[in-house]
Structure formats: structure tokens, C-alpha cells
Amino acid sequence: DTETANQPLANNFDKDAVAERLEVHEMIFDGVVDLVKTEVEKKRIADEQEAARKKAEDEAAKKKAEEEEAARKEKARIEAEKAEADRLAAEEAKKSAEVAYNPDGNVTIRDAWLPTDPIYTNSEGNRSRENYILGIEQFNVTSNDRYTPYKLGKGDTYCNIYVSDVTQAMGAPIPHWVNQDLEPQFMPIGLNSDERIEWMEARDELNAYGVINWLQVKGPANGWQRVDGMTAQDRANKGYPTVATSPGHVMIVRPAKVEDTYVSIWGPTIAQAGKTNSNYCWVRDKVNQEDFKWAEYWTHN
């Protein structure tokens, strides 16, 4: 009715009940908020833990990868060092199987009584055709002033010097100097003038006849054996130091060219110093018919 409708609205409610209900609602709300906060915190903690776990896994994986990479690099380094060591060892083995190289060597010493210092040397057990050719040709007999005939104006030629130089480079020296027992003597490199004179005065110098006598008397005890001309050529072809002699002359028997077969009337191929110098010819080219009959051949291992 009109009277009732005009009464204040508050009269229609129980204030205490409303307050109680509001309090309950607030409690419920606060509980929900706390619950939400708890869930949010739990999620935050879980997320942090997951992130920490993932970070730890990533760091562990990274560390493992770094360790594996370091191990791979170390293995590669060790393998590379071994490969380099093997390469160097192979090169050394190859060198020792060929010739020793001395970049500071000197084979152009003009004074024939002084020793040379070969650039290339070879030794027993490492013989080959190529090594022998290298040992011979380093001395450049046709252009090296050491072997120039008559350079002193005294009828001087140097067949004995050339043979001594080559055989010494090949590790089978036929001496230029000997003692009173014909034992080989080798002048040290680097002596001064007075020391050289003193050294030479205490020893005997071998000319071509002296070399031939030394081969006959002392050659076998020093590894030289006498052979025939064909064997001499065969030995030289295989790289073994070999020499030819005739009265008053000595020569190096050298490897023959492939197309040059041995012919007995010409003898082996030679390199020689003498009245004329030659890097490649035959014994008969440099020895007259009569002396050729007396030719001897000696070879060394």
C-alpha cells in the first residue's frame, strides 16, 4: 500500500544479517585471494625451479659439449703432432736412404792439396744409381777450377784429386794423403797456413801411381775389391763407388746411360780429371791402346 511503500528501504533489511553476510563474503573473498596467491606463488616457485633445472641442464649440456670439443681438439692436436712427427721421420729416413745434404759445403776449393767439404754425401747401405750420379756431378769436373789442368804451369793434372774427392763424398775414400804405413790420412778443414804445412810435412801425398799402389796394397783392407770391366760397369750402374786405373791415371767409373751398353773394347763409362776433363766418356777415350791393356777396376760397397 501507499503507506508501506513510503517507508525507508532500510527498514526492509536486517542490518546485522547483512553485515554478517558481508563479513562472510569478505572471508570467502579473502580466502579465494589467499588461495589464488598461494597458487600463483606455487606456480612461481615451480617456474623458477623448472627454469633452474633447465638452466642446469643447459649448462651441463654446454659443459659436456665444451669438454667433448676440447677432447676432440686435443685428439686432433695429438694426431696432427704424430702425423708431423711421422712425416719428419719419413723425410729423415728418405734422406738417410739417399744422400746427406750439407748446404754450407764447398767443392770449389782451388788448391788441390786442401780438402773439399762435399755438399752431398752417401754411405754404404744407401747406394743407388741416382745417389752415385749426384755424388759425382756435384764436383762439376769440367768447369771446377780445382781440376783445371796445367793451372800452375807445371804440367799439373788432377785425376788423383778428383777420384779422392768423389770417393770420399761416397763414404769410400781413396786417400790423397797417407802415413808411412799407407793408412789413409784426412786433413782437417779449417787449419791455418802453418798448421797445414806442419800437417802435410808429417804425411805422404799420393799421385796417380801412388793411388794405384795403394789400391793394390791397401785397397782390399779398406773395402775395395778388384773386378773386371763389365762388373765394374754393372756395379757403377747400381750406385757402388767404382774406379778405373791405367798406368799413371785414375778415373771414376760412373753409371752409364740407359742406351749405352757395355762394350769391352771401350771399357766402362767414366768421369775424369786429367789432361782433358770429362763428365761422361769411356775409358778408351782417355787411355791409349797400350795402357788400356793394363787397366784395372776396383769397386766398393
Quote the CA–CA distance of 271 and 134 in Å, as a whole number.
12
Would the pLDDT of 80 be above 60? yes
Residue 92 has pLDDT above 60, yes or no: no
CB 143 within 8 A of CB 271: no
Mean pLDDT of 16-23: 76
Q: What is the pLDDT of residue 16?
A: 77
Q: What is the pLDDT of residues 152-173, one digit of tens each?
A: 999 999 999 999 999 999 999 9
pLDDT at 81: 85
Q: Hey, what CATH topology would domain 101-300 get?
A: endopeptidase fold (from Nostoc punctiforme) (3.90.1720)
CB atoms within 10 A of CB 200: 16
Q: What local confidence, expressed as pLDDT, does residue 14 receive?
A: 76
**pLDDT above 70 covers what percent of the chain?**
92
Confidence grade of residue 43 (pLDDT, cut at 50, 70, 90): confident
**Cα–Cα distance for residue pair 206/250, rounded to 1 Å:** 12
d(CA 95, CA 141): 25
The span from the CA of 40 to the CA of 174, in Å, is 103
Residues near 186 by Cβ (< 8 Å), separated by ≥ 6? Answer: 115, 168, 173, 175, 177
pTM, two decimals, is 0.69
In terms of pLDDT, which residue wins out, 62 or 225? 225
* Domain range list for the chain: 15-97, 101-300
Q: Mean pLDDT highest for which of 32-36, 79-83, 170-174?
A: 170-174
